[in-house]
Amino acid sequence: MARLTREQSQARTKAKLLASAREVVAREGYEGATVERIAEEAGFSKGAFYSNFNGKEDLFLYLLETHAGEDVTELEELLGPITDGRLLIDTLSNWSQERSTDPSWGMLALELFRHARRNATFGERHSNLFRAQWEGLGKILLRLFPEGKAPAGPTALGGIVFELTYGAASSFTKGPTVGELVKVALTSMYDAYGAKENVS
């Protein structure tokens, strides 16, 4: 088997650290997920950790950024072929419902932001963490409305869906499911501002 290049080896190390961080934070929470534990469970030293990330906060920002980008890619593939507006809403609602069964992503973001505020490290990277994710989905949702007739811009449209999807409270309370909430929100906007059966 051919030896890995330095870049390939570093990418593999980073991927293992991210996978370890995901598991450790699900078990211990953000505050309990130490650099030592993440590195140890990935099979590396602290030195390997710090050669890839500036610290725990940097790692978890990277983890959330990666997850957010993967969501948009998945939704572009899932929703791209759909031309019927109501089918698009149903498909997205089902996706949101499935994603909401794992509340750890939403809770990780909240814990990370709380930590950053408390330690005065909250900055541009934090405040823009989900902007591309929201805008990416929002651009897809603009297809539900005639040009210039959408009730909000793409960032707000996408933000509504992702906030409902990853909002931690809905995962623990009885009442409407996340999928139902997303469907109500999008159908109401579609009926009021779009109401066309096919989207281009």
Per-residue pLDDT of 96-109, as tens digits, reads 999 998 888 888 89
Q: Taking the model in full, what pTM does it have? A: 0.86
* Per-residue pLDDT, 189: 96
Residue 191 tokens read as 């009926």
- pLDDT beyond 60 at 92: yes
CATH number at residue 64: 1.10.357
Query: What is the 8-class DSSP label of residue 142?
Result: G
Q: Within 10 Å of residue 65's Cβ, how many Cβ atoms?
A: 16
Classify residue 200: in a domain, yes or no.
no
On whether residue 124 sits in a domain, the answer given is yes
Q: Within this chain, do residues 40 and 88 fall inside the same structural domain, yes or no?
A: no
Residues 95 and 173 in one domain: yes
Q: What is the pLDDT of residue 7?
A: 81
Indicate if the pLDDT at residue 199 is higher than 60.
Answer: no
Look up residue 84 and give its amino acid.
D
Residues 127 and 102 in one domain: yes
92/135 same-domain check = yes
Statement to judge: residues 25 and 83 lie in one domain:
no
CA 171 to chain centre: 16
Is the residue at 198 inside a domain? no
Same domain, yes or no: 46 and 62: no
- Residue 162: pLDDT band by 50, 70, 90 thresholds? very high
**47 and 77 share a domain?**
no
Sequence letter at residue 171: S
Torsion of CA 14, 109, 143, 199, to 10 degrees: 80
Query: What is residue 21's predicted lDDT score, i.e. its pLDDT?
Result: 92
Which residues touch 45 (CB under 8 Å, ≥6 apart)?
39
Mean pLDDT confidence for 10-14: 89
The average confidence (pLDDT) of the chain is 90
What lies within 8 Å, CB to CB, of 15 at 6+ separation is: none
* Statement: residue 81 has pLDDT above 80: yes
Bridge partners of 84, per DSSP, are: 198
Q: Please check whether residues 38 and 69 belong to one and the same domain.
A: no
Which of 133, 87, 130, 98 has its CA nearest to residue 112? 130
The answer to whether the beta carbons of residues 180 and 93 sit under 8 Å apart is: yes
> How many domains in the chain?
2
Shared domain for 33 and 86, answered yes or no, is no
Does residue 200 register a pLDDT over 90?
no
Range of the domain at 72: 56-193
- Examine the domain organization and report whether 146 and 82 are in the same domain: yes
